[in-house]
A = this chain, B = another copy of it.
């Protein structure tokens, strides 16, 4: 029988992230935890090998949260038939300064919807782990329509 859960290597996690563009950011806002869907890109500096996540956010609660408390978590997943993959990261977020924002131009990162003003946030990933699940879904037939 296949093992139901397989741990992914760090390289497999980054490769999974590089091929996707949509994740969920969990962040603090004062004493609360918040979650929001974001589109992201992996920025990779070939000189140093350093990889980080970039995303754009409008002025508002997400940005306010990471400026006040940079501790964030991020998740990207995919379910295809009976196979689920989830990569989870933790890290430190910071708003890029104006003279760094050009980095967002060099990666496939564009806002999904037009809005007036964007800031670029970088997440320096301190922990990354990924798991693949073989789903049994014994209850599939009872999900209500």
A interface residue numbers (CB < 8 A to B): 4-5, 18-19, 21-22, 24, 26-28, 31-37, 71-75, 77, 79, 84, 86, 88, 90, 108-110, 112-114, 133-139, 142-145
Contacts and interface: CB of A to CB of B under 8 A. Distances in A.
Interface of A is mostly: strand
B73 A4 contact: no
B37 A33 contact: no
A14 to B, nearest CB: 12
Nearest to A111: B136
B144 A108 contact: yes
Nearest to A37: B86
A86 B24 CA distance: 10
B108 A136 contact: no
Contacts of A4: 113-114
A72 B33 contact: yes
15 contacts: A19-B144, A21-B143, A22-B79, A24-B77, A32-B73, A33-B72, A33-B90, A34-B73, A34-B90, A35-B73, A36-B88, A37-B86, A108-B142, A109-B139, A110-B139
